Structure 1
Amino acid sequence: MQEELDGLATNYPDRFKIYYVLNQPPEVWHGGVGFVSKEMIQTHCPAPASDIQIRRCGPPPMNKAMAGHLEALEYTSDMQFQF
Protein backbone atom coordinates (compact mmCIF):
# COMPACT_ATOMS: atom_id res chain seq x y z
CA MET A 1 0.00 0.00 0.00
CA GLN A 2 3.00 2.31 0.02
CA GLU A 3 2.11 3.88 -3.34
CA GLU A 4 -1.46 4.58 -2.19
CA LEU A 5 -0.33 6.02 1.15
CA ASP A 6 2.34 8.18 -0.48
CA GLY A 7 -0.27 9.39 -2.98
CA LEU A 8 -2.60 10.45 -0.17
CA ALA A 9 0.25 12.31 1.53
CA THR A 10 1.11 14.07 -1.75
CA ASN A 11 -2.48 14.92 -2.68
CA TYR A 12 -3.64 15.97 0.80
CA PRO A 13 -0.57 17.36 2.60
CA ASP A 14 -2.66 19.31 5.12
CA ARG A 15 -4.84 16.31 5.99
CA PHE A 16 -2.64 13.23 5.64
CA LYS A 17 0.90 12.64 6.86
CA ILE A 18 2.87 9.44 6.84
CA TYR A 19 6.07 8.43 8.62
CA TYR A 20 7.58 5.03 7.93
CA VAL A 21 9.69 3.28 10.58
CA LEU A 22 11.71 0.16 9.81
CA ASN A 23 13.63 -1.98 12.25
CA GLN A 24 16.07 -3.10 9.55
CA PRO A 25 16.04 -0.41 6.86
CA PRO A 26 17.85 -0.61 3.53
CA GLU A 27 21.19 1.16 3.20
CA VAL A 28 19.54 4.30 1.80
CA TRP A 29 16.59 5.21 4.03
CA HIS A 30 15.02 8.52 5.02
CA GLY A 31 12.39 7.33 7.50
CA GLY A 32 12.58 6.24 11.11
CA VAL A 33 14.82 3.44 12.29
CA GLY A 34 14.29 1.02 15.16
CA PHE A 35 11.22 0.69 17.32
CA VAL A 36 8.48 3.32 17.49
CA SER A 37 8.95 5.34 20.67
CA LYS A 38 6.84 7.91 22.48
CA GLU A 39 9.29 10.56 21.25
CA MET A 40 8.78 9.50 17.61
CA ILE A 41 5.02 9.71 18.06
CA GLN A 42 5.24 13.16 19.62
CA THR A 43 7.58 14.37 16.87
CA HIS A 44 5.82 12.93 13.82
CA CYS A 45 2.14 12.63 14.79
CA PRO A 46 -0.43 15.30 15.53
CA ALA A 47 -1.47 15.78 19.14
CA PRO A 48 -4.49 13.80 20.38
CA ALA A 49 -7.78 15.38 19.23
CA SER A 50 -11.25 14.19 18.29
CA ASP A 51 -10.55 14.71 14.56
CA ILE A 52 -7.20 12.84 14.57
CA GLN A 53 -6.67 9.17 13.81
CA ILE A 54 -3.33 7.38 14.04
CA ARG A 55 -3.11 4.30 11.83
CA ARG A 56 -0.47 1.68 12.31
CA CYS A 57 0.60 -1.46 10.52
CA GLY A 58 3.28 -3.93 11.55
CA PRO A 59 4.00 -7.08 13.49
CA PRO A 60 1.96 -7.77 16.66
CA PRO A 61 4.73 -6.81 19.14
CA MET A 62 5.16 -3.43 17.43
CA ASN A 63 1.44 -2.76 17.37
CA LYS A 64 1.13 -3.71 21.05
CA ALA A 65 4.02 -1.44 22.06
CA MET A 66 2.76 1.43 19.94
CA ALA A 67 -0.76 1.09 21.35
CA GLY A 68 0.74 1.41 24.83
CA HIS A 69 2.68 4.52 23.84
CA LEU A 70 -0.39 6.09 22.24
CA GLU A 71 -2.50 5.36 25.31
CA ALA A 72 0.18 6.88 27.57
CA LEU A 73 0.13 9.99 25.35
CA GLU A 74 -3.68 10.18 25.78
CA TYR A 75 -4.79 8.98 22.36
CA THR A 76 -8.11 7.23 22.92
CA SER A 77 -9.01 3.95 21.19
CA ASP A 78 -11.20 5.99 18.79
CA MET A 79 -8.07 7.86 17.67
CA GLN A 80 -6.24 4.64 16.69
CA PHE A 81 -6.62 2.11 13.92
CA GLN A 82 -4.53 -1.01 13.41
CA PHE A 83 -4.22 -2.68 9.98
Structure 2
Amino acid sequence: MAELGYPQATVSNWLGLIGPKGLSPAVVRKLNEAYNSALALPDIREKIAGPGNVIGGGTPEEFAAFIAAENKRWAALVKVAGIKLE
Protein backbone atom coordinates (compact mmCIF):
# COMPACT_ATOMS: atom_id res chain seq x y z
CA MET A 1 0.00 0.00 0.00
CA ALA A 2 2.91 2.34 0.70
CA GLU A 3 4.08 1.88 -2.90
CA LEU A 4 0.61 2.98 -4.08
CA GLY A 5 0.86 6.19 -2.07
CA TYR A 6 -0.90 5.07 1.12
CA PRO A 7 1.92 4.64 3.66
CA GLN A 8 -0.49 4.76 6.62
CA ALA A 9 -2.57 1.84 5.30
CA THR A 10 -1.85 -1.57 6.72
CA VAL A 11 -3.19 -4.55 4.81
CA SER A 12 -2.48 -8.12 5.74
CA ASN A 13 -3.75 -11.58 4.96
CA TRP A 14 -4.92 -13.79 7.76
CA LEU A 15 -6.30 -17.29 8.10
CA GLY A 16 -8.28 -18.88 10.87
CA LEU A 17 -10.76 -21.60 11.66
CA ILE A 18 -14.43 -20.69 11.81
CA GLY A 19 -17.19 -23.20 12.56
CA PRO A 20 -20.93 -23.09 12.08
CA LYS A 21 -23.14 -21.05 14.37
CA GLY A 22 -24.12 -23.00 17.47
CA LEU A 23 -21.03 -25.21 17.48
CA SER A 24 -20.63 -26.86 20.86
CA PRO A 25 -18.22 -25.01 23.19
CA ALA A 26 -16.54 -28.34 23.91
CA VAL A 27 -15.87 -28.87 20.18
CA VAL A 28 -14.63 -25.28 19.82
CA ARG A 29 -12.25 -25.82 22.75
CA LYS A 30 -10.96 -29.11 21.34
CA LEU A 31 -10.39 -27.66 17.86
CA ASN A 32 -8.68 -24.60 19.34
CA GLU A 33 -6.35 -26.75 21.42
CA ALA A 34 -5.45 -28.86 18.35
CA TYR A 35 -4.91 -25.75 16.23
CA ASN A 36 -2.64 -24.11 18.81
CA SER A 37 -0.73 -27.37 19.31
CA ALA A 38 -0.15 -27.64 15.56
CA LEU A 39 1.04 -24.03 15.40
CA ALA A 40 3.65 -24.85 18.05
CA LEU A 41 5.27 -27.58 15.92
CA PRO A 42 8.54 -26.49 14.29
CA ASP A 43 7.75 -28.03 10.89
CA ILE A 44 4.33 -26.36 10.77
CA ARG A 45 5.81 -23.03 11.83
CA GLU A 46 8.46 -23.34 9.11
CA LYS A 47 5.82 -23.98 6.43
CA ILE A 48 3.71 -21.01 7.52
CA ALA A 49 6.56 -18.58 8.12
CA GLY A 50 7.45 -16.46 5.15
CA PRO A 51 7.28 -12.97 3.77
CA GLY A 52 4.58 -11.12 5.64
CA ASN A 53 3.29 -14.16 7.50
CA VAL A 54 2.92 -13.93 11.25
CA ILE A 55 2.06 -17.07 13.17
CA GLY A 56 -0.82 -16.41 15.49
CA GLY A 57 -2.91 -18.67 17.62
CA GLY A 58 -4.76 -17.85 20.77
CA THR A 59 -8.27 -18.22 22.07
CA PRO A 60 -11.60 -18.25 20.23
CA GLU A 61 -12.48 -15.02 22.05
CA GLU A 62 -9.32 -13.31 20.82
CA PHE A 63 -10.05 -14.39 17.25
CA ALA A 64 -13.66 -13.17 17.49
CA ALA A 65 -12.41 -9.80 18.74
CA PHE A 66 -9.90 -9.65 15.88
CA ILE A 67 -12.60 -10.38 13.29
CA ALA A 68 -14.88 -7.74 14.83
CA ALA A 69 -12.06 -5.17 14.67
CA GLU A 70 -11.31 -6.05 11.03
CA ASN A 71 -15.01 -5.73 10.13
CA LYS A 72 -15.16 -2.31 11.78
CA ARG A 73 -11.95 -1.13 10.11
CA TRP A 74 -12.92 -2.26 6.62
CA ALA A 75 -16.53 -1.04 6.95
CA ALA A 76 -15.21 2.45 7.69
CA LEU A 77 -12.93 2.32 4.65
CA VAL A 78 -15.76 1.13 2.41
CA LYS A 79 -17.96 3.98 3.65
CA VAL A 80 -15.30 6.68 3.20
CA ALA A 81 -14.40 5.38 -0.25
CA GLY A 82 -18.04 5.17 -1.29
CA ILE A 83 -17.68 1.57 -2.41
CA LYS A 84 -20.99 0.04 -3.48
CA LEU A 85 -21.97 -3.61 -3.81
CA GLU A 86 -22.43 -4.58 -7.46
The structure where strand makes up a greater share of residues is 1
Provide the TM-score with structure 2 as the length reference: 0.29
Structure with the higher fraction of residues in helix conformation = 2
